[in-house]
Amino acid sequence: MYKNLVNFGAMALLCTNAIAQEGQSLDSVKDEKQDSFQLQQLDEVIVSDSRFSLKRENSGKTVIKISAKELERNQGRTLAEIINTKSGLEINGSRSYAGQNISVFARGGNNRQVLVIIDGIQVSDPSNVNAEYDLRLLNIAQIETIEIIKGASSTLYGNSAATAVINIITKKAKADGLALEAISNWGTNQSQDDQNYSISDISNNVTVTGKKNGLTFLASGGNQFTDGLSAAIGEEEDAFSRIDGNLKLGYKFSKRFNMEALAFYNKLNSDYDNGFPISDADFHFKSEQSRFGLTNTYSYKNGSVHLNTAFNQITRDFLSNAPSFYDSESFVLDVFNKYAINETIYTIVGLNVVNGRTLFTETRDANNVDPYLNFVYVSDFGLNINAGSRWNNHSEYGSNWIYNFNPSYRIKVNKGYLKLFGSYAISYVAPNLSQLYGPFGANPDLQPEEDTTVEGGLEFQFSDRLRFSAVYFDRKEENRINYVTIDPDTFESQYRNISDEVTLSGVEVELRAIPIDNFELTANYTFTDSKSGLALRIPKNKVNAGISYLLKETSYFSLSYQYVSERLDTDFNTFSNVDLDSFGLLNFYFKQDICDQFSIFASVDNLLNEDYVEILNYTTKGRNFRLGMRLRL
């Protein structure tokens, strides 16, 4: 701890010297930063819902955009914790011990209906029971921005994009010359009952970037170590650690052509406990990911050709009384042509190839080869249309045609706008390799799920001070894949397509306001309902609210609150259903810019030490403190 304080002081001294050498004062730094609270203004650009850079007012969706500034003001928090504050999303496991499995529930759906994209390339784990990508692998300090599209987006992004797409852009070199960023933070990791305030959670990350004469590079590495909590309720501490690194090397060969090579490595180690019966155990989990990619862009008059490709390998090793090992590989190719016919009509024609391979008792693989096309019309009188189709060709179950139609109408209001929008979209979720051929309940006769989503809503933005949106959605699932008990005497279970149609509907409301300079108010509310009942751990009502204040452009304060209503869970010791009580969490965050190169931040999560349950029979975080610093050179 003493060594950390020495490092802290050294960085502060370095900051002082940097200001003196450059002849800067805090006033000049302030002038450079004039970035008080704004709504990303009327010129905010949305990319994910069309793959074209469209102003927010011309987008037919209420896309969630998490900017670099917002990520900077949440340093020390995990990706799951940040996403969990957004409307329509419940990230189960984000409030538990660090090694807890993360479940992404979007609009009442589950993990297999959410697609994660990193730097334009789909990522997944074919060996996982839902083929989902493990968000624990990602280091928030290496991410630049995030866009989240809710609703069916399979036309542009393919299989699994049924309830949401999480589009993550990692950091890259920006300014000419060399640059360095170092982030360190230390925190407690304790339950409601164990408030001993010892340092149990430590994270570090260093990023070096360079840019000169068309050449760009980035090298980044980080680590995290956490203990102090037991996975299951008990006395034993279950440790979690992660190391990660990424390399980017890009070159702009001409005004028309550029290329970037990407390499990522992530390794997780986590202790975990027995799941049946739920009890303390000395079990261990290891996961490694190696991912290599290449992105190419060739621009020509009124258009551009893009080729994105990546190879990903993930191994997962479970050391327990029933040990298991999984080794999966995936290859992704996405080549598409973007062309602007004129100033109002834009088109995309592409081919998406995905190959997944997993070793069970023998090697199994599956392929998707999907041609797709999308069309965007942006009129000068307010009407906008985003429509497209994809011919989904799967090696195991055959072919299906999917499509979307997303019109919107924009009305100018003073310095802002009123946008009315609607959408109708179909998506397919193919059974994954684990469900078809895996060791637990595999069924090679499974058919794909078909999701149909209808939504409609409005967004109102008045100047750069107020934005309000409300969306209603209705989603129908046919051939839903569930893990069902087929023999109650032996508890034999299998993945089966459910014959009954599942209907989910809901409302999402968002508000963002700046009533006075440097003061921001945000709030969102999500209502989710199903006639057949919601899945485990999904709340019917969820509220997020926050207030933030920026003092003299150098001091940032925020107070956030989250309310989660009652949920249904299952006690896997007795196989009986249990209603979990509602709860509310209050969090505090503070960031201080000491100078342009150096800042410190601190947070208190679960400020009131709320006693609640996120996952039945598992440990939940109590009040926790965190202190950190960031250095930029």
pLDDT of res. 42: 46
CA Rg value for the chain: 24
Q: What is the mean pLDDT of the chain?
A: 90
Highest mean pLDDT among 62-66, 370-374, 499-503, 594-598: 370-374
Q: Is the pLDDT of residue 25 over 50?
A: no
Q: Are 355 and 371 in contact (CB under 8 A)?
A: no
Compute the distance between CA of residue 603 and CA of residue 625 in angstroms, rounded to an integer.
Answer: 6
pLDDT of res. 3: 45
The encoded tokens of residue 347 equal 């088109």
**In which band, very low, low, confident or very high, does the pLDDT at 35 lie, cut at 50, 70 and 90?**
low
Determine if residue 70 is left, alpha or beta; phi over 0 gives left, psi from -120 to 50 gives alpha, anything else beta: alpha
Residue predicted with more confidence, 296 or 43:
296
pLDDT in tens, 165-210: 999 999 999 888 999 999 999 999 999 998 889 999 999 999 999 9
Task: Enter the pTM of the model.
Answer: 0.92
pLDDT in tens, 79-109: 999 999 999 999 999 999 999 999 999 999 9
Residue predicted with more confidence, 75 or 13:
75
Compute the distance between CA of residue 316 and CA of residue 358 in angstroms, rounded to an integer.
Answer: 11
Reduced 3-state DSSP string for 223-279: EEEECCCCCECCCCCCCEEEEEEEEEEEEECCCCEEEEEEEEEEEEEEEEEEECCEE
Kindly state the average pLDDT of the residues 482-491: 84
The full set of domain ranges for the chain reads 35-632
Q: Is the pLDDT of residue 27 over 60?
A: no
In this structure, of 364-368, 381-385, 572-576, the range with the lowest mean pLDDT score is 572-576
List of residues 6+ apart from 406 with CB closer than 8 A: 49, 60, 61, 385, 386, 387, 421, 422, 423, 424, 425
Compute the distance between CA of residue 124 and CA of residue 73 in angstroms, rounded to an integer.
Answer: 29
**In which band, very low, low, confident or very high, does the pLDDT at 57 lie, cut at 50, 70 and 90?**
confident
Q: Is the dihedral of CA 573, 578, 583, 585 positive or negative?
A: positive
Query: What's the fold here for domain 35-632?
Result: Maltoporin; Chain A (2.40.170)
Kindly state the average pLDDT of the residues 270-298: 92
Closest CA to 428 of 474, 385, 471, 397: 397
Q: Which residues pair with 399 in a beta bridge?
A: 393
Question: Is there a cis peptide before residue 277, judged by omega within 30 degrees of 0?
Answer: yes
In this structure, of 32-41, 251-260, 302-311, 569-578, the range with the lowest mean pLDDT score is 32-41
pLDDT of res. 18: 43
Compute the distance between CA of residue 5 and CA of residue 624 in angstroms, rounded to an integer.
Answer: 20
pLDDT in tens, 571-612: 887 778 999 999 999 999 999 999 989 999 999 999 999 999
Q: Are 216 and 246 in contact (CB under 8 A)?
A: no
Say how many C-beta atoms besides its own lie within 10 A of residue 514's C-beta: 19
Kindly state the average pLDDT of the residues 477-501: 88
